[in-house]
Amino acid sequence: MEPLERYRPIIDDFEAFLEACARPLPSVVRVNTIAASLERATAVLREEGVEFEAAAWNPHVLRLTDDAQGPGSTWVSFCGMTHGQEEVSAVPPVVLDPQPGERVWDACAAPGGKATQIAALMDDCGTVVANDSNLGRLSSLRFNAERLGASALAVTHQDARNFSLKPFDFDEFDRALVDAPCSCEGTIRKNPDALDGWSEAHLESVSGVQKGILRRAVQATREGGTVVYSTCTFAPEENEAVVDYVLDAEDCHLREIEIDLEHSPGITAWEGETYDERLERAIRLYPHQNDTGGFFVAKLEVGS
């Protein structure tokens, strides 16, 4: 927990934050509407005697209130009607707001919770290009995509920083999600050892990769298209600083995010650096606000 001390100046009610970080995460599933409607999936859950409560901000996100069985050991899960996915990890695809028939790029997609959610939001119609540079993680992505029946999803294995659209016969996307590799501080409730090996030097090296991927995503998206940047970490070096850099380097601007979850605005100053004021439009989701993991989400529109 010690590395988290550096966020004391930017987090309201820091003690509640630390307390929440020390608690285990509630078990949450997302209803996969490719396999079943919400009504059908919840009917099967009820028949199985699984108790749940829908999240107020998203009826497809269900908190299992008595998770004796584990989210994977149910008939609904076997049939692909639900997928275990942390509650705030379901936020970026909702902010991306993909539409049926569009071309969407998920630059860092493995193991595929968000890519399959994107396919479901598009009614499994259009093209979702789910990319990752890690072959081992790609096999989990493929397993999840097939289990959930995502037939509009293509899987590529490239370094997203210089992603090539050569395997496709179009040359830009309507939308892109960059759910970047990060220091994962916000997953501390799921992995109590998430902070082992934490160092500022690591933040610097990972932020270089993040900038490269986000730049490529803006370049590969059409004028007027949407790019969402997200991480599961608190470090401004990996969040606001990355977006601030890309706002300068590429032709894009920040949009407001509307979401019915308690959150804090992005910050505009950190350790002597200042960022574009519009970074307040980004959102920071802290564990104590909604009893979830931590996330950062920013929404960009390509062009001026």
Ligand X SMILES: C[S@@+](CC[C@H](N)C(=O)[O-])C[C@H]1O[C@@H](n2cnc3c(N)ncnc32)[C@H](O)[C@@H]1O
Catalytic residue numbers, as ranges: 232
Q: Which does 29 bind (CB under 5 to 8 A by kind): ligand X, other proteins, none?
A: none
Nearest alpha-carbon partner for 28 in 84, 68, 77, 92 = 84
Q: Which does 152 bind (CB under 5 to 8 A by kind): other proteins, ligand X, none?
A: other proteins
**Measured from the CB of residue 147, what is the shortest distance to ligand X in angstroms?**
13
Q: Which does 126 bind (CB under 5 to 8 A by kind): ligand X, other proteins, none?
A: other proteins
CB 73 within 8 A of CB 49: no
**Measured from the CB of residue 97, what is the shortest distance to ligand X in angstroms?**
16
Instruction: Output 167 or 272, the one with its CB closest to other proteins.
Output: 167
Binding residues for other proteins, per CB under 8 A? 34-35, 40, 43-44, 46-47, 72-75, 77-80, 103, 124-128, 138, 142-143, 145-147, 149-157, 167-170
Amino acid at 138: L
Binding residues for ligand X, per CB under 6 A? 89, 108-114, 131-134, 137, 159-161, 179, 181, 209, 213
**3-class DSSP state of 258:** coil
Instruction: Output 131 or 221, the one with its CB closest to ligand X.
Output: 131
**3-class DSSP state of 56:** coil
**Measured from the CB of residue 272, what is the shortest distance to ligand X in angstroms?**
28
Q: Which does 71 bind (CB under 5 to 8 A by kind): ligand X, other proteins, none?
A: none
Instruction: Output 50 or 182, the one with its CB closest to ligand X.
Output: 182
Instruction: Output 31 or 50, the one with its CB closest to ligand X.
Output: 31
Q: Which does 259 bind (CB under 5 to 8 A by kind): other proteins, ligand X, none?
A: none
**Measured from the CB of residue 166, what is the shortest distance to other proteins in angstroms?**
8
Which residues neighbour 22 within 8 Å (Cβ) at sequence distance 6 or greater? 1, 189
Find where tokens 């540079």 sit: 133
**Measured from the CB of residue 106, what is the shortest distance to ligand X in angstroms?**
6
Alpha helices in 62-155 (DSSP H): 75-78, 91-96, 113-121, 135-147
- What's the CA gap between 209 and 131, in Å, rounded? 15
User: Which residue pairs from 120-124 have beta carbons closer than 8 angstroms and sit at least 24 positions apart in sequence?
Assistant: 120/32, 120/33, 120/34, 120/148, 120/150, 121/93, 121/94, 121/97, 122/98, 122/152, 123/33, 123/34, 124/34, 124/149, 124/150, 124/151, 124/152
